[in-house]
Amino acid sequence: MRVIIEPNYDKMSKWAADYVAARIIEANPTPEKPFKLGCPTGSSPLGLYKELIKKYEAGELSFQNVVTFNMDEYVNLPEEHPESYHSFMWNNFFSHIDIKRENVHILNGNAPDLTAECEAYEAAIEAAGGIDLFMGGVGPDGHLAFNEPGSSLTSKTRVKTLTTDTIIANSRFFDGDLSLVPKQALTVGIGTVMAAKEVLLVCNGHHKARALQHIVDGNVSHMWTASMLQMHRKAIVVCDEPACDELTVATYKYYLDKERGNL
């Protein structure tokens, strides 16, 4: 695992966006051979999306031949609800770039048969040839997408019941009212993310420090599902300084020195 420590949120977002843009440009995608990008929601990737939009506006990057697969979506929340992940993605990213609507994939949390929806999603990822780069955030409890503590580390796309921790954390988007937060979500599995060629996580803020400690310094554990990235051949975690508050001094110094070229 590669760990990039940036001084603050803006620099973290910029580093992540530069990396994603470089990967897309390098792949030189075409309609026949598009670049497949996995997309997260949440406040963490907002800066990353803003930076990618800037690159598109500056003419440095096009999403014409990019196919996206989102990580997750709430169950039974109307698509047009302002807090649905459909709304989030169109408002914060897709409406501002040249992506083709037919190239966007987001799980349908209102599908009549949720299991069939999840199976079809996995099949669509496979039919597309797999995901080239899965971007992600992390929950304060170390969850990746909606793979809550205790999730199988080989899981595929399925319905998950949210933990109380996540319901409380996400209630900030629902006027702080826990009763308004959906209790279930459809989510790609840890196995789905692990199957991507590359994974790039953004992790910022002191409230994520314990999660980062478990992901970087801890053991692989289904109680901190993002820790499974330790087993990925090409995983990068980009974080800001406050997120490093719980890392051991040795780990912190190692990753800083390594990226500065002092090692």
CB of 144 to ligand GLP, least distance (A): 7
Quote the tokens at residue 102: 């037919």
Is 229 a binding residue for ligand GLP by CB under 6 A? The answer is no
Question: How far, in Å, CA of 64 to CA of 92, rounded?
Answer: 17
The residue length of the chain stands at: 263
**87-96: b (≥16 Cβ within 10 Å) or e:** bbbbeebbeb
CB of 170 to ligand GLP, least distance (A): 6
81 annotated active-site? no
Interacting residues of 110 by C-beta distance below 8 A, sequence separation 6+: 75, 76, 77, 78, 79
The catalytic residue among 6, 51, 72, 117 is 72
Is 51 a binding residue for ligand GLP by CB under 6 A? The answer is no
Question: How far, in Å, CA of 20 to CA of 14, rounded?
Answer: 10
Report how far Cα 125 is from the mean position of its chain's Cα atoms. 16
Quote the tokens at residue 106: 């987001």
143 annotated active-site? yes
Is 71 a binding residue for ligand GLP by CB under 6 A? The answer is yes
CB atoms within 10 A of CB 154: 12
Task: Please select the residue that binds ligand GLP; options are 6, 51, 72, 240, rule is CB under 6 A.
Answer: 72
Residues 154-193 that bind ligand GLP (CB under 6 A): 166, 170
Q: Which is nearer to ligand GLP, 37 or 65 (CB)?
A: 37
Interacting residues of 179 by C-beta distance below 8 A, sequence separation 6+: none
The catalytic residue among 6, 51, 117, 141 is 141
Is 43 a binding residue for ligand GLP by CB under 6 A? The answer is yes
Is 13 a binding residue for ligand GLP by CB under 6 A? The answer is no
257 annotated active-site? no
List the x/- string, 79-98, binding to ligand GLP by CB under 6 A: --------------------
148 annotated active-site? yes
Q: Determine the interface stretch with ligand GLP among 3-11, 56-64, 132-140, 255-263 (rule: CB under 6 A).
A: 132-140
Is 243 a binding residue for ligand GLP by CB under 6 A? The answer is no
Question: How far, in Å, CA of 157 to CA of 115, rounded?
Answer: 9
Q: Which is nearer to ligand GLP, 29 or 239 (CB)?
A: 239
**Mapped to the 3 state alphabet, what secondary structure does 144-175 carry?**
ECCECCCCCCCCCCEEEECCHHHHHHHHHHCC
Task: Please select the residue that binds ligand GLP; options are 145, 194, 212, 216, rule is CB under 6 A.
Answer: 145
Q: Which residues are catalytic?
A: 72, 141, 143, 148
**Residues near ligand GLP (CB under 6 A):** 40-44, 71-72, 137-139, 145-146, 166, 170
